[in-house]
Amino acid sequence: MGNILIVEDDPNIRKLVRVNLVKRGYTITEAEDSHQAMARFQAETVDLVLLDLVLPGLSGVDVCAWIRARSDVPIIVLSARSEEELKVAALDAGADDYVTKPFGQEELLARVRAFLRRSYAAPNFPDTKVQIGELLIDLAARRVFLGAEDLHLTRTEYAILAELAQRLDAIVTHDELIAQVWGPEYRGSNHYLHNYLGRLRKKMGAYGAQLETIPGMGYNLHAKIS
C-alpha cells in the first residue's frame, strides 16, 4: 500500500492521521520536527509525504525544498487557513498538493490514494514530444523545457499539461481534466484546479497564454502561437 511519512509536530493530529491510514493498510513513519523528518526520509523508502508547514527547527517549506532536491516523491502539505503565504511558498518549493486544516479524514485519504495510484501506475504517455514554439513537452521523459531551461514542474503541474498536450487544440472539460489528474472523486472541484493552472501558466512564461480557459466548458492548449 505504500510507506507514508507524516511530518507533524502536533501529536494529536499525527495520531489521528496515523490511525486512519493504518486502518487502510498503509505503513507509517512519523517525524515531529524538520530534522527528524529529513533523517527518517534518508533512512527509509518513502512513497508519500504529509508535511505540516509550521515545524520546530526548519520550516515545512525548507523541508519540502530539501526533499524535492533529492526525490520526486509526492508531497502533500498540511496548512492552516492563516498560512496562505507558506502554502504558496511550499508549492513553489515543489509540493504537489495541499490540504487545509481542519481537514476531513476522507478528503485526506482520497488525496493520498490519488497520488499513490498515480505513482504506481505504469506511464501511459506516448513516446513523443509536443513542441509549441520554444516550449517542449517531452511526454516520454515526463519533462517540460522552455528553450534550454527545464521548468521543473511538480507531478500535478506536469500531469495537467501532459493531459492537455495529448489533446492539443481540443477543449478538455473541467471534470475530464480533474478526473484524469486527480481521480473521479475530485469531479466538481473546479476551484481546486484553477489554483494549479495559475501556477502552471506562470511557469510557462509567455507561453502561458497558450493555455486558454474556455468559460463554462474547460481548457484548451493551443498549438498555434498568436
Question: CATH number for the domain including 113?
Answer: 3.40.50.2300
Q: Cα–Cα distances in Å, from 143 out to 39, 125, 148, 157, 161?
A: 29, 12, 12, 11, 10
Of the chain, the percentage scoring pLDDT greater than 90 comes to 54
d(CA 51, CA 38): 11
pLDDT at 188: 64
Three-class SS of residue 198? Answer: helix
75, 40 Cβ separation under 8 angstroms: no
For residue 194, what pLDDT band results from cuts at 50, 70 and 90?
Answer: confident
pLDDT at 119: 65
Pick the last residue of a domain from 87, 120, 153. 120
Average pLDDT over residues 67-86: 88
For residue range 136-176, what is the model confidence (pLDDT) as tens digits? 999 888 889 999 999 988 888 888 999 999 999 999 998 88
Does residue 166 share a domain with residue 71?
A: no
d(CA 97, CA 118): 13
Does residue 93 share a domain with residue 15?
A: yes
Decide: pTM greater than 0.85. no
What is the total count of domains within the chain? Answer: 2
pLDDT at 25: 93
pLDDT for residue 37 is more than 50: yes
pLDDT for residue 189 is more than 80: no
What is the grid cell recorded at 193? 484546479
Does residue 204 share a domain with residue 104?
A: no
Q: Helix H segments across 122-189?
A: 155-165, 174-181
pLDDT at 117: 79
pLDDT at 107: 86
Question: CATH number for the domain including 193?
Answer: 1.10.10.10
* Between residues 111 and 14, the one the model is more confident about: 14
pLDDT for residue 64 is more than 70: yes
Residue 40: inside a domain: yes
Residue 92: inside a domain: yes
Average pLDDT over residues 109-128: 71
Pick the last residue of a domain from 101, 120, 139. 120
Average pLDDT over residues 66-90: 88
pLDDT at 162: 92
Three-class SS of residue 152? Answer: coil
Does residue 135 share a domain with residue 115?
A: no
pLDDT at 98: 87
Residue 213: inside a domain: yes
